[in-house]
Structure 1
Amino acid sequence: MDDYSVKLFDVIIVGGGIAGKMLAHRLPASMKIACITKAEPNVSNSVIAQGGIAAALANDDHPEAHFEDTIAVANDHADIERVNLLVTEGKQSVQTLIEEGLLFDRNPSGNWSFGQEAAHSKRRILHSGGDATGKGIMDFLQTKTNNKLSLHANLVVIELIIIKGRCAGVIVLDHLGKKSRMYGKHIVIATGGIGQLYEHTSNSEISSGDGISLAYHAGALLTDLEFVQFHPTILQLNGKSKGLISEAVRGEGAQLVDEDGKRIMEGIHPSLELAPRDIVARAIEASYQRQKKVFLNAQDITGFNKKFPTIYQNCLDHSINPLTENIPVRPGAHFHMGGIQTNEWGETSIPFLYAIGETACTGVHGANRLASNSLLESLVFAERAAQTIQSKKDDDFSISGIKPFQNHMVNLPSIVEIKKMMTTYAGIIRDQAGLERLLERLTPAIQQLSAHVFSDLALPTLKLAHHLTSSFLIAKSALLRTESRGAHYRLDAVHHDTNWTGKVIAISKNGCCQLNRHTINDQKKEAILK
């Protein structure tokens, strides 16, 4: 591996998805930018994102309608000023990318083809390549950033370097177990989601909450960690997740049925299959608890193989023909509404440390994310972070007294054990007893980790450390929120306890607290939307 310690980058981006790429796209070419990826550059949640990107670009649509849909799904927990930024600046961001050459699917008339997804009052979802929107945007941004950054692949960031209270770099681990330091004026965490903390997930193999763990051990503030969205429809065979079946399939008319052919959403929600994701996911899981498997019947969708070529091929690869057969589905961990707390410019509680994309908590998703708002969030707040970075004056820091790395071993639960416990006790349905049982197992391990400097841990321990830390923090937050709200559903709670409205659970190494988030009322909405 190169000796990075002699290099000083202007910006170090940890993560290779859409958020990080958009940031690099909006930064000037004069900056020395490093991009660190945990695997090869084509491995990320962004690349496999089937769903589209929501933007109020249709003639009969308006950002105000998009705003209303977003906060309705957020279950009285969104930061409404940030939501307004998302839908207004998001529309312009997508429009600008289109003008720069980004292509989205068009209908036979040559106009943009807008899809329908759950809880959207309008058809406003743009797709690229049918069900390959993430790859389409990634490919476009890759062409725009190829010559602007230096790529450092197959490196795991194990610790943030803090010098005199500011973030000044990262410590990385290569596949041989060698540790190195990289220094930068601005450090941006864009590591994506947490799906691999669970047994069943739509996420890529590298999405294990690394960003949350890095920020926590550096002392940053994290919020809304208890809100994990489970996608209702993941292709599942023999108890194994085999890929996402996009919500757009239900938007085109596919129905959820049990093994007897009964529609499982009847009598549960007036929007049936297009109810908010948390409601659909719980309905499917409840059917499984009754020993009734659930299937997606998409056989009446005209041109399924052309509208959803990636899904169609994936089904065929697993010996299922969706044109003539029902698709077996079950919920899986999909998107994390919580994460590293940031302001509206992507700044964290640690100076010169930023977070963008799914690993950040901007407050726009509240307790439940509106479908196809995730890619939009990545674009909007990456652009805002780019503006902030360019506006900052250089703040020099000196590097001295660097100690050699140690290799301490810590006995931790296995990844298999952590995933099983998280799925059982911190999954779609939770309660106090289960969460306490989970924390009883995780807390001693966290205490052992905290007794050491992260970068001084041995390779076997480091492979588990981020996984364990993020799992512990989600479980801790889930136990602290005693109500049910959005994607956080507790059997032992009163749903939507008004005493909790606007209350945010914040966690750092210094402890836990409750913060107030902007609550929603008609007068405030009118003021923001003017």
Structure 2
Amino acid sequence: MVKNSKIQIEESSGTVIVGAGAAGLFAALTLAKAGRKVTVLSEAELNGICASCWAQGGIAAAVAKEDSAAAHTRDTLKAGAGTSDKNVTTALTRDAPAYIKLLESYGVDFKHDPATGEFALNHEACHSRRRVLRAKAGDGFGKELMRALTTAAAKEKNIRFVAFQSAVALVREYTQTHGALSGILAYDSKTEDLSLFPAAAVILATGGIGALYSHTTNPNFATGRGIAMAARAGAVLADMEFVQFHPTALALGRDPAPLATEALRGEGALLITEDGKRFMPDQHPMAELAPRDIVSRAVFAELSRGQRVFLDCRNINTQEFPALRDACMTAGLDPQHVPVPVHPAAHYHMGGIASDANGRSSLSGLWVCGEVASTGLHGANRLASNSLMEAVVMGGRAAADIHQFLEKMPETKMLRVPDYCREIAKKYVPLNDRDLVVTRARTELREVMTRLVGVARHESGLKQAIDIFRKLETVAALADAALVARLVATAALQRRESRGGHFRLDYPGDSAVWKHRSYITLKEADLPLAESAEVKEKVYA
């Protein structure tokens, strides 16, 4: 339990943004430059750890003369395996080059070709041409992006940063599921106090769910808290079953696993077994540059047969990839001279809180951007380096939409704390790594997700996982994580086919019946499995 369940009402601002990664900061900068006051809540200090900081490869945009937004759209739709939203995809790929210019204006140091002065572009899986912009510093693009955005945001007087805040619940006017959205309830991990941050508009930019898995490339706080909050408030969720497993996480015994970026294979690195044989040419015409879901399943299949899998980088200049070299050299491996062991790891969630092309969710007053959102851009499988593109573009689009929204909205002034918030406060238990019961339960959750809701799934395993997650929801500190795990497993159980990042051993082929997005609410997921209606295509508005 929290030390003090009394709730303090903070100063009101037009917009509260939860999350200080690329999506949250870009939204904050866009609103601030439009003259809007913004409060940004972050679990760490500004420029602290976030998933955006960990992104290696780069950001995709059709900036080359021989490229086009139409080609970027085609590649994105092809990778998405038939369930991408074409209108959203067209809008975001069209806007992406303009956002690259904005990022340059914020100080992002992109790598340029010294001979031409043009952007240096990498080729990554499923892109029909070189399209991925990188940082001058090498394979740490996320770190460079965050350096520039945090520096720019720190200079803005209209942005108020409040660190060490863990969002607990979305606050609605009457009950947790009824009434206008009016702010965020948050827990201060330093003071152990609870505060209510009133706002007319809320943006959730809380990241993904990778840390629900025991094999992941995500930071340990990526447990889907934003999804849990939105689900409890009644929001519609989309495509929850689609989890992307990166095929080349370094198998060095670290948690999270260091990532061997897609760009390595784009430059010529090969996947081989212990005896030095390649296996990807037999799996797909694009071999190592096949869609991530196909490469991940191929690696998983080799591992399941008892083979070890390695990424052979000996034919490329690994000096261009300092993050890879640092991780390998720390483990006593020189990737320039020896192949390095890899395995699939949970990397990105295509699902999340359903939103339109402007970041609007099904709840009035709630916008979402970044990995917590499911816009339909990625479909069943994300195209390499489209994640940071989506984070930045959607952060900007959501902010622009909120700017217009606030023109018609009176300022939110919270005079009293709703009674149900006090009940939430009394029950709230922050995650404590020193609590052995919680630690064991968290380990169980992650192992079950990897084993039963991972690269390969089956009806019996998914049902078993759902039962386990229901029990783990009774562990207060894990309630949100276990809820999100259950939502993923439920959506995976209901989609009776294989498509993109969702592979069913009992339904190994795709089906025209399921060639659409899926939508679900917590109310629907709470139905007994025998009574639960299948997730069907719905028109999201």
TM-score (norm 1): 0.90
Question: Which position in structure 2 is the counterpart of 1:464?
Answer: 478
Of 272, 275, 279, the residue aligned with 1:257 is 272
**What letter corresponds to residue 147 of structure 1 in structure 2?**
K
Residue 232 of structure 1 contacts residue 281 of structure 1 at CA under 8 Å; is this kept in 2? Answer: yes
How many angstroms apart in 2 are the aligned matches of 1:382 and 1:240?
A: 29
Residue 38 of structure 1 contacts residue 206 of structure 1 at CA under 8 Å; is this kept in 2? Answer: no
Residue 218 of structure 2 contacts residue 256 of structure 2 at CA under 8 Å; is this kept in 1? Answer: no
Kindly state the Cα deviation for residue 396 of structure 1 after the two structures are TM-superposed: 5.1
Residue 234 of structure 1 contacts residue 329 of structure 1 at CA under 8 Å; is this kept in 2? Answer: yes
1:507 aligns with 2:515: no
Deviates more, 1:407-416 or 1:67-76: 407-416
Question: Which position in structure 2 is the counterpart of 1:35?
Answer: 40
Residue 352 of structure 2 contacts residue 374 of structure 2 at CA under 8 Å; is this kept in 1? Answer: yes
**What letter corresponds to residue 173 of structure 2 in structure 1?**
I
1:10 aligns with 2:14: yes
**What letter corresponds to residue 33 of structure 1 in structure 2?**
V
Question: Which position in structure 1 is the counterpart of 2:72?
Answer: 66
Deviates more, 1:330-339 or 1:238-247: 238-247
Residue 166 of structure 1 contacts residue 353 of structure 1 at CA under 8 Å; is this kept in 2? Answer: no
Kindly state the Cα deviation for residue 509 of structure 1 after the two structures are TM-superposed: 2.8
**What letter corresponds to residue 163 of structure 2 in structure 1?**
A
Deviates more, 1:415-424 or 1:139-148: 139-148
Kindly state the Cα deviation for residue 108 of structure 1 after the two structures are TM-superposed: 2.8
Question: Which position in structure 2 is the counterpart of 1:335?
Answer: 348
Q: Secondary structure at the residue paired with 1:257? A: strand
Count of aligned positions: 503
1:443 aligns with 2:449: no
Residue 78 of structure 1 contacts residue 517 of structure 1 at CA under 8 Å; is this kept in 2? Answer: no
1:152-184 deviation line (CA, Å, top 9, x unaligned): 222211111111522111111122543222211
How many angstroms apart in 2 are the aligned matches of 1:339 and 1:259?
A: 38
**What letter corresponds to residue 407 of structure 1 in structure 2?**
K
How many angstroms apart in 1 are the aligned matches of 2:517 and 2:62?
A: 30
Question: Which position in structure 1 is the counterpart of 2:180?
Answer: 166
**What letter corresponds to residue 338 of structure 2 in structure 1?**
E
Long gaps (5+) in structure 2: 430-436, 526-532
Q: Secondary structure at the residue paired with 1:407? A: helix
1:69-95 deviation line (CA, Å, top 9, x unaligned): 000010110000000011101122113
Kindly state the Cα deviation for residue 445 of structure 1 after the two structures are TM-superposed: 4.5
Kindly state the Cα deviation for residue 142 of structure 1 after the two structures are TM-superposed: 1.4
How many angstroms apart in 2 are the aligned matches of 1:134 and 1:363?
A: 23
1:274-325 deviation line (CA, Å, top 9, x unaligned): 0000010011111111111001000110x321x1112211211121111111
CA spacing shift, 1:344–1:241, aligned 2, 3 Å:
closer
1:428 aligns with 2:469: no
Of 173, 192, 195, the residue aligned with 2:210 is 195
CA RMSD of aligned residues (A): 2.1
Q: Secondary structure at the residue paired with 2:257? A: strand
Residue 115 of structure 1 contacts residue 248 of structure 1 at CA under 8 Å; is this kept in 2? Answer: yes
Question: Which position in structure 1 is the counterpart of 2:434?
Answer: none
**What letter corresponds to residue 24 of structure 1 in structure 2?**
A
Q: Secondary structure at the residue paired with 1:442? A: helix
How many angstroms apart in 1 are the aligned matches of 2:377 and 2:289?
A: 21
Question: Which position in structure 2 is the counterpart of 1:489?
Answer: 503
Structure 1 residues 45-444: aligned runs within 5 Å: 45-99=51-105, 101-109=107-115, 110-128=117-135, 129-148=137-156, 149-164=159-174, 165-175=179-189, 177-238=192-253, 241-301=256-316, 303-305=317-319, 307-392=320-405, 393-395=408-410, 399-400=415-416, 402-403=418-419, 404=422, 407-408=426-427, 414-444=441-471
Residue 428 of structure 2 contacts residue 476 of structure 2 at CA under 8 Å; is this kept in 1? Answer: no
Kindly state the Cα deviation for residue 516 of structure 1 after the two structures are TM-superposed: 4.1
Q: Secondary structure at the residue paired with 1:414? A: helix
Residue 7 of structure 2 contacts residue 193 of structure 2 at CA under 8 Å; is this kept in 1? Answer: no
How many angstroms apart in 1 are the aligned matches of 2:349 and 2:252?
A: 24
Residue 9 of structure 1 contacts residue 34 of structure 1 at CA under 8 Å; is this kept in 2? Answer: yes
Residue 427 of structure 2 contacts residue 476 of structure 2 at CA under 8 Å; is this kept in 1? Answer: no
Residue 187 of structure 1 contacts residue 354 of structure 1 at CA under 8 Å; is this kept in 2? Answer: yes
Long gaps (5+) in structure 1: 449-460, 519-530
Q: Secondary structure at the residue paired with 2:536? A: strand
Residue 470 of structure 2 contacts residue 483 of structure 2 at CA under 8 Å; is this kept in 1? Answer: no
How many angstroms apart in 2 are the aligned matches of 1:481 and 1:395?
A: 43
Deviates more, 1:143-152 or 1:289-298: 143-152
CA spacing shift, 1:238–1:144, aligned 2, 3 Å:
closer
**What letter corresponds to residue 270 of structure 1 in structure 2?**
P
Residue 357 of structure 2 contacts residue 394 of structure 2 at CA under 8 Å; is this kept in 1? Answer: yes
How many angstroms apart in 1 are the aligned matches of 2:255 and 2:32?
A: 44
Kindly state the Cα deviation for residue 242 of structure 1 after the two structures are TM-superposed: 3.4
Residue 245 of structure 2 contacts residue 292 of structure 2 at CA under 8 Å; is this kept in 1? Answer: yes
TM-score (norm 2): 0.89
How many angstroms apart in 1 are the aligned matches of 2:68 and 2:404?
A: 31
**What letter corresponds to residue 513 of structure 2 in structure 1?**
N
**What letter corresponds to residue 375 of structure 2 in structure 1?**
T
Kindly state the Cα deviation for residue 434 of structure 1 after the two structures are TM-superposed: 0.3
1:426-462 deviation line (CA, Å, top 9, x unaligned): 000001010001111222454x5xxxxxxxxxxxx55
Deviates more, 1:253-262 or 1:407-416: 407-416
How many angstroms apart in 2 are the aligned matches of 1:509 and 1:440?
A: 17
Kindly state the Cα deviation for residue 241 of structure 1 after the two structures are TM-superposed: 4.7
CA spacing shift, 1:76–1:504, aligned 2, 3 Å:
same
CA spacing shift, 1:205–1:380, aligned 2, 3 Å:
same
1:19 aligns with 2:23: yes
Q: Secondary structure at the residue paired with 2:258? A: strand
How many angstroms apart in 2 are the aligned matches of 1:60 and 1:73?
A: 21
Kindly state the Cα deviation for residue 338 of structure 1 after the two structures are TM-superposed: 0.5
Kindly state the Cα deviation for residue 400 of structure 1 after the two structures are TM-superposed: 3.1
CA spacing shift, 1:444–1:462, aligned 2, 3 Å:
closer
Percent identical = 36
CA spacing shift, 1:396–1:437, aligned 2, 3 Å:
same
How many angstroms apart in 2 are the aligned matches of 1:4 and 1:510?
A: 34
How many angstroms apart in 1 are the aligned matches of 2:264 and 2:211?
A: 24
1:177-235 deviation line (CA, Å, top 9, x unaligned): 43222211211100011110000111112211111111001111101000000000011
How many angstroms apart in 1 are the aligned matches of 2:289 and 2:8?
A: 50
Q: Secondary structure at the residue paired with 1:487? A: coil
CA spacing shift, 1:239–1:28, aligned 2, 3 Å:
closer
How many angstroms apart in 2 are the aligned matches of 1:401 and 1:168?
A: 11
Residue 318 of structure 2 contacts residue 325 of structure 2 at CA under 8 Å; is this kept in 1? Answer: yes
Deviates more, 1:323-332 or 1:136-145: 136-145
